[in-house]
Structure 1
Amino acid sequence: MVYPTSLCACLSLLTVLSCHSHVLPRLSFPIGSPGRSLTGFTNPDVYNTTTLLLSDNEDTLFVGARDAILSIDVSQTDAMTMKEKLDWSPSEKDLVDCAMKGKMKMDCHNFVRVLQVLNSTHMYACGTFAFSPRCIYIDSKTFSMVTGTSGKPEEGRGRCPYDPYQKNTAITVDGELYTGTVADYRGTRPVISRHLSEGSHVDLKLDDTLGWLEDPTFISSSYVPSEEKVYFFFSEIGKEYDFIDKFTVSRVAQVCTSDVGGQRTLQKRWTTFAKAQLLCQADLELPYNILLDIVSLPPPEGESEDETLFYGIFTSQWQVNLGRSAVCAFSLKDIKKVFTGRYKVLNRDTLKWSTRVQEQMANPGECGLHNASDNTLRFVKDNFLADKSVQPVNQGLTLVSLDKSYSNIAAQRVRGAHRRDYTVLYLLTESGYLQKTVLLENGAHIIEEIQVFHQPQPVKNLLLSVSKGAVLIGSSEGVISVPVSNCSYYWSCAECVLARDPFCGWDPVTKHCTNINTHDHLVQDVDEGNVSAQCTYVNPRSRSGQSRTPTSEVVSVSLNEVVHLQCPEASQLAKRHWERLNSQLSPRIYIQSDDRSLRFVATPSTLGHYLCQAVENGYTQTLVVYHVKQKSSPTILPATPNRPHSIPTTEAGSKPSVFTTRLITPKQTELRPKPEDMDPTVTLKDSPTTTTRKSRNFTRFSNIDKENSQTEPGENLKQADKPTYFQELVVVSVLLALCISALLTIAFHRFRYFCHGRTVPQTPSTRRDGEKGGSATPQERESLKGHSPCLEKRNGQTPNGQSRNGQAHNGKSPITLSNSMLNSSNGHLPNTPI
């Protein structure tokens, strides 16, 4: 039964979860985009290049792959060249033994999972080696395999996992190897151990019988020199929570590098092991309890090592957070505070955890306990779980992704133009995108995302080379190098400032966006991205009082044609809208799609100029200007009110198509404008003078119909809209002539009709003309004989039946009257007054 309070609580949780703002990357670069260069290394004979290690000078990258270890030259940021390859494959007997154990053939290779610098002359590597882990030494100078004192590869149990799909962690400190992995074939014996110890130090491990670890998944390890401690990060089952289902928690554990184990109790076992929960949770929300990756970020120069931060990627086992990723930061100071606090106690009989109320005999996790008494060691053996959890920095989440699942993380501290430090995170998504994010006081800002893989790849390592300025990504198919900065992509001061990239600043002297390390006088505003405050000097009106207009894209269309105008995207954070000179875009006429394209039917009232503008952080820029005009036509279109420019006509004889569709998009002849073609002007929202700049994502249209165009691309809009009336004058003159001709024609026809009525014969006799004994008057006879002047004028014939040119018409009169016309009831001709 669910109580109303519980239901309300659940609804409240769902409401809070839905209130997370969706942080969008400002720019997105698909794979292969010329705007973002990548460097990759692939080899058809090399697979699973997932374990990465940089040399001290960061000129060489060592890669642990399948059946091989590689040495790659990365001294050049735009090239990765393999220098040497060290083959390390299992023998045929090893492969047969692995297959006999029931393992797949592909899993029986040697997957190098540990690759560490041991000292100035040697490296240390461990591999799964057909489900029988082995370890070797590598001479750093000759890059050759060196065996131990026995002359054979060392046993790798407890140093490297058996299964290539199991996660592990390893780190070397003063020539000793600290690992977190499983120590058996089945993977049921997790262990945190130390190896390669010499002198008074002995190899140590956890006591398997104490339940110090509960089915852990090891993620990472870090060494803090001031504390002389190694911290391990992992996820495991939280036995302290008495739930029906198993509840996964994220942990941080610590051991002291000076630990040598107890004299009688905890011999060759850790006496300084302690663990605590990492709580990545916001107020009134379910926690993100599964740790996926974590990285340490050293403090700024001159500050205490307590300011060291650990940035981790977390996900949740709860259905309500399914598909989401959260980033939380934890400080070393808070971790130390939790480890010096109270601890829970485990009842060995009931296997229940409880908070100890009696006075504690020692501080678990404190270094130097190996010399303590047996009673003290027994106390720390049962009290290794801290009572409180490590809370995230600022008691909240650093970043939440609602639609991207993060898998790996790297962090870097960058000093900006104003001597202020910024934290930059590199987050790799499971879909194959690398997001570069800067952390600000008002939240995270994703500067850009770069697609590095066509398809999702299993990534084991994400390594940052600070000196080379590159992020190295090891995947199953190769190694990808991504430059951390891309300043040359921003070609104007406004673009450089809006990027809010701490690596980049605008140089007002050279008019270029350049790396911040090369100059001290650069313009930058990472916190606000305020263009009006940083780029005021580029306003041309402040210098000459003249503003430049953007190039006009001329589009020739026919009437009743559906026009589709595309608007390029300046950034994913900009809001685009359409404007029209001296007119409003009515939704009854214009359709604006989700991609901000504009559709309308070409009519006399919809011809003209259309501007697509983008507004980002208070800065307005014009992306493209279209001049939609009609092709030349003999049909005269009435002038549209409130439209300053004339309406061009279409070609003679052409008929406009009915509702044909035409898509107008900017041409992609080149991706980026050349520096000499750049327009440094900007448009400020609050500025009384509005100037615009060229778009960086497209090049301008060429004239679509140069023969019929009246305004060339680049011509001033005012000159393009100047009215001319020569065509109207010619048309009006032609219309006047046509009207006068029509009036004359009508008058001529009326005169003919009048004459026709006057020439009708009027006689009461039924006899035809020429018959003897007729009673017609002399005047009537004269009319019947055809001597009427109107008849002569009307037919152009003489009274004798001759035409004016003297030719006869068969001897007949042009007018023949029937008997019915000559007879009437009153003896008179029709239509003749009595």
Structure 2
Amino acid sequence: METHSVLSFTVALLGFLSPCLTRLTPRVSFPFGSPGRHLTRFSSYDVSNTTTLLLSEDGDVLYVGARDAVLALDVGHKDVITLRNKLDWRPSDKDLEQCSMKGKEMADCPNFIRVLQFLNASHIYACGTFAFSPRCTYVNSETLTMSIRPDEGRGRCPYDPYQRNTAIIVDGELYTGTVADYRGNRPVISRHLSEGRRVDLKLDDTLGWLEDPTFISSSFIPDEEKVYFFFSEVGREYDFIDKFIVSRVSQICMSDVGGQRTLQRRWTTFAKAQLLCQADNELPYNVIQDIDTLPPAEGASTDETLFYGIFTSQWSVNSGRSAVCSFRLSDIKSVFSGNYKVLNRDTLQWSTRVQEKVANPGECGLHNASDNALRFVKENFLADDSVRPVGRSLTMASAEHKYSHLTVQRVQAANNREYTVLFLLTETGYLHKSVLLQSGAHIIEEVQVFERPQPVKSLKLSVPKGVIYVGTSEGVVRLPTANCSFYWTCAQCVLARDPFCGWDTASRACVEASNTQTSVAQDIERGNVEETCNTVTLTHIARFGPNKMSAASCPTGELVPVALNEVVRLQCPAASKLSRQLWERPNSRLSSDLYLHLGDGSLSFVATPATLGHYLCLSTENGYQQTMAIYHVRQKSSPVVQTTSSYTRPRTRPTLATQAVSRSGSGQHTTGFWPEPKETRRQDTEPTQSTRDTQGVPRQRGKNVTLWTLGSGQNESGFVEGEPLPSARYPCYLKELVVVSVLLVLCLSLLITVLMYVIRQRCRRRTAPHAVTPSRESDRRTPLEQEALRRNQCLNKRTGLSPHSGQAGGSGCNGALTGSNGHLPNTPI
């Protein structure tokens, strides 16, 4: 528990001391399907899980290991990828049934090709998982047919399609790092296809040389005659309660044939060391994700070989972050030639005790050594020191993007200086193109390769062809490494700081630096536009005229007719993601009390006599300014029929469509490419009285201006362009107020009168005596009872006993009761 507490305190302390990572923002972003970045795709309804890519030496054929198939794609044409041949290699129904009986999902039982290597000039060696029973075979590279029947692939290919592995063929022999059993508990680094006096070799399973590894990559160094393996595993040398993952590099010699008595058919030159991707006062990035080898420059020593790797961290403090570290071959060799840790077989504890060396672990030629020397190297295979990154610092680190794959290329710029360019693939489907400068990493662009994130299995770079191939679960995507034609001005070409591209003053175009014989303008380190393009940044006086002339001398841009008290929002397009938008006015300051600078670079304010006039939007990047938009905000001249300026921006290239042209090659610079506005007539309905009182109603004025009506108060007088309106009057609404008040009083009086009448009627009904009228009870009497009742009423009236006598009632009774002879009916005469 004490060790665990110390570890937790150390992690917390290092996390607190860790400095904030520099935010790496791609300068230009190309969404999926953007016309500014051309991509070529290959997909087919019966092709999926392109897990392995192999490129021919001439770069015209791409061999793809997919699910149940090996493909040969013709990639020699620029704009299309076609299927040349296809080898179907799928398990039988019996194999699939056995795989299902082992408890595996049917989706994992097909044959996933995981090994694809050139054996010689005519054949390819291929291995697949084959329903959790690995198989390997020889494939003719021309006809894509099997030369022999597939044989067992145990120890050459993983059983599980989700387990990572690595394989490389050197001089006809296969060197692999994978697992050798069905459960994945026996990791091995082995050699196969040995002939003659050479025998196949592997690691001793009982020595614990590997601790639950995840194999990443392997690389062959010809001058060293060694094969290096890169993987991550559990670091048993650290006595932590939780499993601590470490990244490793291991080596074996090609001349190794095993010991005569000790370590028979086992490696005698195996050694491993820790790769430490860590900066000062920071937690280490201890989990390796991918690694690529960069050969030395022409004429340089093999020791200058660099290995660039992507690392992540298992610590929650660095969760979601990625780092890139580079390791020099000379540093790896120095660690392997140093001291080694000692493993106590009884306690399984490592110690750094230095003891007398009987042999040098990792040294080639130990197969003829004595048994005592072989026992020493058998137990001392872990280097005491760790391999530190170049410069003892991170090559680049990102807190926003989590990278999964990378490939690296050395590019020679126009000044004959070489730069390292990294192509990094994020887990969200973006490919970042980054150049390493003295000041740090600079991400030139990002390209969205996939519309939806999906598993990426491989990344292949073709330096001669200048393209990158990305293998996904759905197919293959190809994109060129250079995109110089996208930058159509000298300023943009220089600000990109792309070693592939330079500005050709003769053709006035941004071209690939390696494809032109003439000198091109570049400034990769600083990106200085003024010096490189021989241009001068416009000053405030140059933009608005000398001696602070009036606003009328400002260049005309887009006219924005507004009404007073409306909220105006002026858009400002960004030249790039690294640019910063600025707003200026002639002879005026943009006070924070009147103007609001929004996060997207736009400017918002309320239209008043003080805020009418010209506005200029500027984009600043790396000390270079360029005009992006010019607006002239003016008051409407008529409440009904208005004369406004219709303005349409010229159609240019995507994402920078509104950028100002900078004629840098000839030393000319313009403030914008807006022509003189053309006056057009347009009907615009004036808001009614009810809508004038409504606040916050948006109205679009073109695509770059949004107006919001705050309330009444339009001035119907005319406006002289370029002059303020200090004497502008607000309209009076006294008459309207009086009319509304009188109407309100009348409505209230009428409402009170109606209410009193209704109340009075209800009171009368409740207090009035009941009249002798037919009721519901009379309706319920029989006809005889009703006739008798009428007789009684008439008799009472005749005798004067009726309290409610009347003329109409008497006549009614007489008419009802008296017959034709004047006597009562049904009475005897």
TM-score grouping bracket, smaller chain normalisation: 0.7 to 0.9
**Alpha-carbon deviation of 1:701?**
11
Please list the CA deviations of residues 655-701 of structure 1 after superposition, one character each: whole Å capped at 9, or x if unmatched: x9xxxxxxx998695535999x98333699xx9x985355xxxx999
Q: Relative to 1, partners in 2 of residues 1:479 and 1:582: Cα closer, same or farther, differing over 3 Å?
A: same
Match of 1:159 in 2: 156
Q: Relative to 1, partners in 2 of residues 1:271 and 1:621: Cα closer, same or farther, differing over 3 Å?
A: same
Q: Relative to 1, partners in 2 of residues 1:20 and 1:63: Cα closer, same or farther, differing over 3 Å?
A: same
Whether 1:671 aligns to 2:653 is yes
Corresponding letter in the other structure for 2:633 = V
Q: Secondary structure at the match of 2:330?
A: helix
Q: Which of 238, 243, 255 does residue 241 from structure 1 map onto?
A: 238
| Preserved contact between residue 492 and residue 678 of structure 1 (Cα < 8 Å) | no
Distance of 1:538 and 1:507 partners within structure 2: 19
**Alpha-carbon deviation of 1:596?**
1.2
Corresponding letter in the other structure for 2:94 = K
Please list the CA deviations of residues 251-304 of structure 1 after superposition, one character each: whole Å capped at 9, or x if unmatched: 000001111111111111111100000000011111110000000000110000
Distance of 2:344 and 2:394 partners within structure 1: 34
Q: Relative to 1, partners in 2 of residues 1:358 and 1:446: Cα closer, same or farther, differing over 3 Å?
A: same
Please list the CA deviations of residues 65-123 of structure 1 after superposition, one character each: whole Å capped at 9, or x if unmatched: 00011111111232211111111111011100100101001100000000001101100
Whether 1:304 aligns to 2:301 is yes
Distance of 2:679 and 2:8 partners within structure 1: 64
Q: Relative to 1, partners in 2 of residues 1:471 and 1:538: Cα closer, same or farther, differing over 3 Å?
A: farther
Q: Which of 593, 597, 601 does residue 592 from structure 1 map onto?
A: 597
Alignment of 1:626-637 (within 5 A): 626-633=631-638
| Preserved contact between residue 66 and residue 112 of structure 1 (Cα < 8 Å) | yes
Q: Secondary structure at the match of 2:117?
A: strand
Distance of 2:140 and 2:365 partners within structure 1: 35
Please list the CA deviations of residues 716-744 of structure 1 after superposition, one character each: whole Å capped at 9, or x if unmatched: xxxx997699x99xx9xxxxxxxxxxxxx
Whether 1:30 aligns to 2:31 is yes
Match of 2:104 in 1: 103
Distance of 2:164 and 2:655 partners within structure 1: 47
Report the more deviating stretch, 61-70 or 549-558: 549-558
**Alpha-carbon deviation of 1:552?**
1.5
| Preserved contact between residue 325 and residue 400 of structure 1 (Cα < 8 Å) | yes
| Preserved contact between residue 535 and residue 664 of structure 2 (Cα < 8 Å) | no
**Alpha-carbon deviation of 1:407?**
0.2
Q: Secondary structure at the match of 1:488?
A: helix
**Alpha-carbon deviation of 1:581?**
2.0
Q: Which of 523, 528, 531 does residue 530 from structure 1 map onto?
A: 528
Match of 1:563 in 2: 568
Q: Secondary structure at the match of 1:449?
A: strand
Q: Relative to 1, partners in 2 of residues 1:269 and 1:723: Cα closer, same or farther, differing over 3 Å?
A: closer
Paired-residue identity, %: 61
Q: Which of 610, 615, 621 does residue 616 from structure 1 map onto?
A: 621
Match of 2:756 in 1: none
Distance of 1:44 and 1:416 partners within structure 2: 42
Q: Relative to 1, partners in 2 of residues 1:521 and 1:217: Cα closer, same or farther, differing over 3 Å?
A: same
Whether 1:430 aligns to 2:427 is yes
Distance of 1:112 and 1:485 partners within structure 2: 31
Give TM-score, length-normalised by structure 2: 0.77
Corresponding letter in the other structure for 1:229 = K
| Preserved contact between residue 408 and residue 423 of structure 2 (Cα < 8 Å) | yes
Q: Which of 244, 250, 253 does residue 253 from structure 1 map onto?
A: 250
Could you tell me which runs of 5 or more consecutive residues in structure 1 were left unpaired when the two chains were aligned: 634-649, 657-663, 714-719, 732-834
Q: Secondary structure at the match of 2:107?
A: helix
Distance of 1:480 and 1:537 partners within structure 2: 40
Q: Which of 314, 317, 323 does residue 311 from structure 2 map onto?
A: 314
Q: Secondary structure at the match of 1:31?
A: coil
Distance of 1:87 and 1:167 partners within structure 2: 23
Whether 1:576 aligns to 2:569 is no
Distance of 1:38 and 1:449 partners within structure 2: 13
**Alpha-carbon deviation of 1:14?**
3.0
Please list the CA deviations of residues 341-365 of structure 1 after superposition, one character each: whole Å capped at 9, or x if unmatched: 1111111111111124221011111
Whether 1:511 aligns to 2:508 is yes
Report the more deviating stretch, 516-525 or 547-556: 547-556
Whether 1:190 aligns to 2:187 is yes
Q: Relative to 1, partners in 2 of residues 1:409 and 1:681: Cα closer, same or farther, differing over 3 Å?
A: same
Q: Secondary structure at the match of 1:106?
A: helix
Q: Secondary structure at the match of 1:145?
A: coil
Alignment of 1:51-450 (within 5 A): 51-147=52-148, 152-450=149-447
**Alpha-carbon deviation of 1:557?**
2.5
Q: Secondary structure at the match of 1:146?
A: coil
**Alpha-carbon deviation of 1:580?**
1.6
Distance of 1:692 and 1:12 partners within structure 2: 53
Please list the CA deviations of residues 107-152 of structure 1 after superposition, one character each: whole Å capped at 9, or x if unmatched: 00000000001101100100000000001111112221111xxxx2
Distance of 1:528 and 1:34 partners within structure 2: 29
| Preserved contact between residue 330 and residue 392 of structure 1 (Cα < 8 Å) | yes
Calculate the aligned-residue CA RMSD, in Å.
Answer: 3.5
**Alpha-carbon deviation of 1:385?**
0.4
Whether 1:692 aligns to 2:671 is yes
Distance of 1:365 and 1:429 partners within structure 2: 36
Whether 1:680 aligns to 2:681 is no
Q: Secondary structure at the match of 2:203?
A: coil
Q: Which of 606, 610, 619 does residue 611 from structure 2 map onto?
A: 606
Match of 1:454 in 2: 451
Q: Relative to 1, partners in 2 of residues 1:549 and 1:113: Cα closer, same or farther, differing over 3 Å?
A: farther
Corresponding letter in the other structure for 1:139 = N
Corresponding letter in the other structure for 1:457 = Q
**Alpha-carbon deviation of 1:18?**
4.1
Match of 1:778 in 2: none
Corresponding letter in the other structure for 1:524 = Q
Distance of 2:652 and 2:492 partners within structure 1: 18
Match of 2:21 in 1: 20
Q: Relative to 1, partners in 2 of residues 1:241 and 1:462: Cα closer, same or farther, differing over 3 Å?
A: same
Distance of 2:352 and 2:123 partners within structure 1: 47
| Preserved contact between residue 399 and residue 444 of structure 1 (Cα < 8 Å) | yes
Q: Secondary structure at the match of 2:341?
A: strand
Alignment of 1:639-678 (within 5 A): 651=640, 670-672=652-654
Q: Relative to 1, partners in 2 of residues 1:668 and 1:43: Cα closer, same or farther, differing over 3 Å?
A: farther
Distance of 2:579 and 2:278 partners within structure 1: 31
Q: Relative to 1, partners in 2 of residues 1:288 and 1:10: Cα closer, same or farther, differing over 3 Å?
A: closer
Match of 1:553 in 2: 558
| Preserved contact between residue 321 and residue 401 of structure 2 (Cα < 8 Å) | yes
Q: Secondary structure at the match of 2:405?
A: strand
Could you tell me which runs of 5 or more consecutive residues in structure 2 were left unpaired when the two chains were aligned: 546-552, 685-701, 704-718, 729-829
| Preserved contact between residue 660 and residue 671 of structure 2 (Cα < 8 Å) | no
Distance of 1:539 and 1:556 partners within structure 2: 31
Corresponding letter in the other structure for 2:671 = T
| Preserved contact between residue 566 and residue 666 of structure 1 (Cα < 8 Å) | no
Give TM-score, length-normalised by structure 1: 0.77
| Preserved contact between residue 631 and residue 708 of structure 1 (Cα < 8 Å) | no
Corresponding letter in the other structure for 1:27 = V
Q: Secondary structure at the match of 2:314?
A: coil
Corresponding letter in the other structure for 1:598 = L
| Preserved contact between residue 252 and residue 267 of structure 2 (Cα < 8 Å) | yes
Corresponding letter in the other structure for 1:85 = K
Corresponding letter in the other structure for 1:110 = N
